[in-house]
Amino acid sequence: MKSCAYVLIALFVSNCLLEVSSQMHGSKSLTFKKFKKFSWENCGKPDDPISMKALHVYPNPIPSPGYVLASASTTISIILHSALPANLTLEREVAGAWVKIPCVDDLGSCYYPDACDRLAQLFKATTGLCIDCPFKAGDYVWPSSGVYIPNFLLPDKLTNFRLQIVLGNSEKELGCLKFYFSVASLLQHNEI
């Protein structure tokens, strides 16, 4: 069984961008003036049963379009059963302030009542491998693997985001992760 961390990263990648554009043309070199280095943190309690131990993402900033290589390790101290609720809050930096991106077509700040099922589907779509809940307790390592990021219409050449993922519900939080990252639009488009 592959790492639950891989699935969290794939979910993070699939939910971190706004809308796909098929109208993009040409390429342009970029100057990164407001680049924010990719970072992450466990934001839950020290005794939460899900905790990320390491996460590495390359390149920084994340290119759109382009490939991202990621590796991770995590610890799960309990068996994770279905239904595992997850609440994602995605924000974009606009003029120095953080603006929440609403949930549209399952992208943005969304609530998923059963993340186990959703993560298993996403894992199969990105890797071709089948995994199912429950996830057993233990240490998981996801070796460096590539994920393709498609063309996304971004408001600027470089857009800063932050994402918080809370697993569990108000009765029992199982884990919390925060990610800070920049996405670089590698294509020039006429709409902006």
pLDDT tens sequence across 129-153: 666 778 788 888 877 878 888 887 7
Lowest mean pLDDT among 25-29, 56-60, 94-98, 156-160: 25-29
Please tell me the CATH code under which domain 4-19+34-185 is placed.
Answer: 2.70.220.10
Over residues 45-78, the pLDDT tens digits come to 999 999 999 999 999 899 989 999 988 898 999 9
Q: What is the mean pLDDT of the chain?
A: 76
Is residue 162 within 8 Å of 42, Cβ to Cβ? no
First vs last C-alpha separation in the chain: 44
3 state SS of 124: helix
In the predicted model, is pLDDT for residue 165 greater than 50? yes
The label of the residue with tokens 């994770």 reads 80
Torsion of CA 125, 131, 132, 138, to 10 degrees: -130
For the chain, what are the domain ranges?
4-19+34-185
